[in-house]
Structure 1
Amino acid sequence: MRKLFIILGLIAAIIAVVLSSLPLFNMAFIPALAALAFGFAAFYSSKKENESKKVVQLIFLLTIVSLCLSIYKAVFSETKVGDTKELEVREQKAEDNAIEELEDLDLSDIKIDPEIRIQEAEDKAIEELEGLDLSK
């Protein structure tokens, strides 16, 4: 059981360290708390079996590093909203270009055969009639 807690604690601590160094640093708290729980479980099982606690100390060290880094980023990072005027101008230009392209289209070249439309309407009417229950 001790080995299981140590392995799970190490995995959770490493994931916490990696997440705390990424822009997703807020997600690092979940594996850090899991690593602390697994670390405490491994510590108590090591204490009962009178085994070495060096790996458990490594779990705690990695978890503390990830928590410190995540808390530092949470406190001192600023979310900056850029100037949205440039974005609005780009959107307006893209919309104007799309309108110009649609206006330039020549739809007179497209020929629709009226017999195809009639055939499609007939097929649809037949399907609807076949779906009716006339036994009533």
Structure 2
Amino acid sequence: MRNLFVVLGFIASILAVILSVTPLFKIAYIPSIAALVFGLIAFYFAKQKQLPKKSIQLVFLLTIIAISLSTYKSVFTVAEVGDTEEMIQKESESEQDALEILEEIELDE
């Protein structure tokens, strides 16, 4: 039973670390919480049977790293919203430039 929760904890914590370094870092809290729960359950079973706890500590370490990275990115990532009028103007200018370039291309038949 302990092995099942250790494996589930590893899977959840690795998924949390992967998600915490991607742009989907806000979703990384869900597998982090799951990894903590699986780690606590595995720790409970290991404590009852006096089994080694090194793998469970690794699950906790990976989970703490994932939570730290996600928290850091959520605190220091600023969502910049640009002026929509400027963006629309730049898009229309780029469309006009593209049309001019296409008109200048001579097709040989």
The amino acid that maps onto 2:56 is V
In structure 1, what is the equivalent of residue 57 of structure 2? 57
Compared with structure 1, are the counterparts of its residues 64 and 93 closer, same or farther at alpha carbon in structure 2 (3 Å cutoff)? closer
1:10, 1:93 → 2: CA distance? Answer: 49
In the TM superposition, what is the alpha-carbon distance from 1:79 to its structure 2 partner?
0.5
In the TM superposition, what is the alpha-carbon distance from 1:81 to its structure 2 partner?
1.4
Count how many residue pairs are aligned between Structure 1 and Structure 2: 97
In structure 2, what is the equivalent of residue 79 of structure 1? 79
In structure 2, what is the equivalent of residue 121 of structure 1? none
In the TM superposition, what is the alpha-carbon distance from 1:91 to its structure 2 partner?
5.1
1:55, 1:2 → 2: CA distance? Answer: 11
Cα deviation 1:82-129 (Å, max 9, x = unaligned): 3423431225886xxxxxxxxxxxxxxxxxxxxxxxxxxxxxxxxxxx
In structure 1, what is the equivalent of residue 7 of structure 2? 7
The amino acid that maps onto 1:47 is K
Runs of 4+ in 1 over 6 A off after TM superposition: none
Higher relative contact order (CA 8 A, sep 6+): 2
| Long gaps (5+) in structure 1 | 95-136
Q: Structure 1 length normalisation: TM-score? A: 0.65
In structure 2, what is the equivalent of residue 109 of structure 1? none
| Long gaps (5+) in structure 2 | 96-109
1:3, 1:83 → 2: CA distance? Answer: 54
Compared with structure 1, are the counterparts of its residues 93 and 60 closer, same or farther at alpha carbon in structure 2 (3 Å cutoff)? closer
In structure 2, what is the equivalent of residue 21 of structure 1? 21
* Identity in percent: 51
Select the structure of larger CA radius of gyration.
Answer: 1
The amino acid that maps onto 2:69 is L
